[in-house]
Amino acid sequence: MSVRLVLVEPEGRINFGFILRLCKNFEVYDIYVVNPRFNIDDPEVVEFAAKGSDLIKVVRVVDSLDDALRNVEISLCTSAKSSDEDDVLRHSEPPEILEEVFRRYSKVALVFGRESVGLTRDELRKCTAVITIPGNPEYNVMNISHAVAVILYLTWRYRGVKRRYLPDVKRLDILNKYFEQVLNQLPLDDRYKDKAKIVFNRFIKLYPLRKGEVTTIYRLLKTLLYVLRTARK
Amino acid sequence: MSVRLVLVEPEGRINFGFILRLCKNFEVYDIYVVNPRFNIDDPEVVEFAAKGSDLIKVVRVVDSLDDALRNVEISLCTSAKSSDEDDVLRHSEPPEILEEVFRRYSKVALVFGRESVGLTRDELRKCTAVITIPGNPEYNVMNISHAVAVILYLTWRYRGVKRRYLPDVKRLDILNKYFEQVLNQLPLDDRYKDKAKIVFNRFIKLYPLRKGEVTTIYRLLKTLLYVLRTARK
């Protein structure tokens, strides 16, 4: 079971210090920072990290979100902006989805965006799903370190959840591959395809699929693909 | 349903600002501060409160915890220090106890102590129960504003929980009164009595007692009291 915290272009030293302290408090020791806007060992960071400041030496600073997401099975980002009905990229889940996530995956990345503007759509697209912490509809914008506090607390809480039968992640990615191939056989514009892929990936990775369901979807996609390809010849 | 946040002698302006922002985010507008160690409208408070800074004008500053707890049905404090087996005052519950609390009470106070030394034993005694947020056993000391974030998030989450049959709080306090009278009939030292009262109060106020159970306890205490008093004559 490993939890990786990923911060994309963090801007505030105080927040970063607080976040390290929270990592120490909730035992999250796999920390990636993409292009921080300050020196991660700045004295203000050290001050606010308190006894978490020894984690500065384990933090990995990288140049891209792709690097930070290497070797994880699933990645969840937090965003205050939730979706339009139609904007599937911003459809979001409540934080309790983490219970299901920890039941199913052992290499999980939790991604937090910039204090000022959050994550770009390209970055959101690299994450499997979005979590929004519910709150006052008139002002639901938590400070990043407080959002990290809520999410890491739940992470701690759900770490020990019992795993039942779970499909292998590689097998699910084969479903994604076939789904994409099916889409490519269809007269659909790229924007729609893109949306459909997000929805499908979330469905197979977050819905508690049983083995028989995985097999059923696999077979459906293989069949569809065969039929579509044959029809084009 | 009302939630009151009570801060006892807060010391940090940044933390206080963050806490006001969290109150705005989670719609907690009943805020008491006992003897703050700074001006609550200090510019640093305003800065870190962000859009929560308009809550400064609703904050009530008082001189004592008793004043801050007036008119609440139950009060819960947060403490990083959990109990010795024997120190019942510090026996603590996980944060999820709030679900049961919000099911049963509509006037709840959430009490947070000083950043440096937390709450005194006298202050702990004024609260019904203690919550400890679980974490790294080697370093489980959250910054106060982050502890507030976790607790207010759960508060928000549990606010809508469905209320089933619940005993009237006044009725439960009558049980407390009889329990105390029974204790006073017994050859026990004050230290033990004090401990027993804390345990009993928590039991009746947090355990999901049904009507029949309340009646049973009531009858038991009345009977005990009658027998003990008669025996002494």
pLDDT, tens digit only, all 233 positions of chain A:
689 999 999 999 999 999 999 999 999 999 999 999 999 999 999 999 999 999 999 999 999 999 999 999 999 999 887 766 677 788 888 899 999 888 888 899 999 999 999 999 999 999 998 999 999 988 888 999 999 999 999 999 988 666 556 778 888 999 999 999 989 988 888 988 888 888 888 888 877 777 778 888 888 888 888 888 887 66
**Which pLDDT belongs to residue A162?**
60
Assess contact for B146 and A22: CB atoms under 8 A. yes
Say if residues B11 and B37 touch (Cβ distance below 8 Å): yes
Q: Tell me: pLDDT of B147 over 90.
A: yes
| H or E stretch covering A16 | helix A13-25
Contacts of B157 in chain A (CB under 8 A): 134
- Two tokens, residue A64: 């891209």
Q: What was the pLDDT predicted at A196?
A: 85
Q: Is A97 strand, coil or helix?
A: helix
* Residue B162 pLDDT level (bands cut at 50, 70, 90): low
The CA–CA distances, whole Å, from A51 to A25, B79, B118, B196 equal: 9, 18, 18, 37
pLDDT of residue A45: 97
- Quick one: pLDDT at residue A231? 73
What pLDDT is stored for residue A140 in this prediction? 86
Tokens of B8: 């006892």
Q: Best-predicted range by mean pLDDT among A38-47, A167-176, B158-167, B219-228?
A: A38-47
Beta-bridge partners for A61: A33
User: Which residues in chain A have Cβ-Cβ distances shorter than 8 Å to B51?
Assistant: 139, 141
> What does the domain layout of chain A look like in residue ranges?
2-158, 169-232
Question: CB–CB of A46/A20 below 8 Å?
Answer: no
Which residues are B62's β-sheet partners?
A: B34
Residues in chain A: 233
**Choice among A23-32, A147-156, B39-48, B188-197 with the minimum mean pLDDT:** B188-197
Distance from CA of A70 to the nearest CA of B (A): 26
- SS3 (DSSP) at A30: strand
| Alpha-carbon gap: A42 to the closest alpha carbon of chain B (Å) | 19
pLDDT higher than 90, residue B224: no
Quick one: pLDDT at residue A193? 87
Mean pLDDT over all residues of chain B?
90
Chain A residues close to B15, C-beta within 8 Å: none
Q: Which CATH superfamily is domain B2-158 in?
A: SPOUT methyltransferase, trefoil knot domain (3.40.1280.10)
At B116, the pLDDT band (50, 70, 90 cuts) reads very high
Top pLDDT among A169 and B231 is at: A169
So what's the pLDDT on residue A204?
83
Residues of B in contact with A159 (CB under 8 A): none
CB contact under 8 A, A25 and B52: no
Query: Is residue A97 within 8 Å of residue A133, measured between CB atoms?
Result: no
Which residue has tokens 């969290």? B22
**Record: contact A134-B140, CB cut-off 8 A:** no
pLDDT above 90: percentage of residues in chain B? 56
- Least-confidence region, from A183-187, B69-73, B109-113, B202-206: B202-206
Task: Give me the sign of the Cα torsion angle B106, A135, B154, A208.
Answer: positive
Confidence check: pLDDT of B82 > 80: no
Q: Tell me if A38 sits within 8 A of A45, measured CB to CB.
A: yes
Smallest CA–CA distance, residue B140 to chain A, in Å, is 5
Overall size of chain B counted in residues: 233
Asked if this assembly's ipTM is beyond 0.85, the reply is no
Residue A101: other Cβ atoms inside 10 A? 24
More confident residue, B46 or A191: B46
pLDDT score for B84: 61
Q: Which residue of B has its CA nearest to A51?
A: B139
Long-range pairs of A134-139 with CB within 8 A, sequence gap ≥ 24? A134/A94, A134/B156, A134/B157, A135/B25, A135/B26, A135/B27, A135/B153, A135/B156, A136/B24, A136/B25, A136/B26, A136/B27, A139/B24, A139/B25, A139/B51, A139/B52
